[in-house]
Copies of this chain bind each other. A is one copy, B any other.
Amino acid sequence: MKPGQPSCQNCLRRSRSVFSACNIAELDDVSVTKSCRVYKKGEPIFEEEDAPHGIFCIFSGMVKVTKLGASGKEHIVRIAGSGDVLGYRALLGNGRYKSSAVTIEESRVCLIPRETFFRLLKENIKFHDGIMKIVCAMMEQAETKSTEIAYKPVRSRIAEALIMLDRVFEERGAITLTREDLASFVGTVKETAIRVISDFKEEQLIEVDKRSIRVLNPDGLMRISNLYD
Contact = CB atoms under 8 A, between A and B. Distances in A.
Contacts of A136: 89, 92-93, 135
Contacts of A68: 147
Interface stretch (A106-114, A148-156, A168-176, A194-202): A148-156
Interface in A118-148: 132-133, 135-140, 142-148
Dominant SS among interface residues on chain A: helix
Interface stretch (A7-15, A20-28, A71-79, A207-215): A71-79
A52 to B, nearest CB: 12
A149 B148 CA distance: 10
Interface in A149-203: 149-153, 156, 187-188
A193 to B, nearest CB: 13
Contacts of A188: 150
Copies per complex of this chain? 2
Contact of A187 (B72, B139, B149, B156): B149
Nearest to A137: B93
A94 B152 contact: no
A132 B70 contact: no
Contact of A146 (B72, B73, B94, B149): B149
B144 A145 contact: no
Contact of A151 (B71, B153, B156): B71
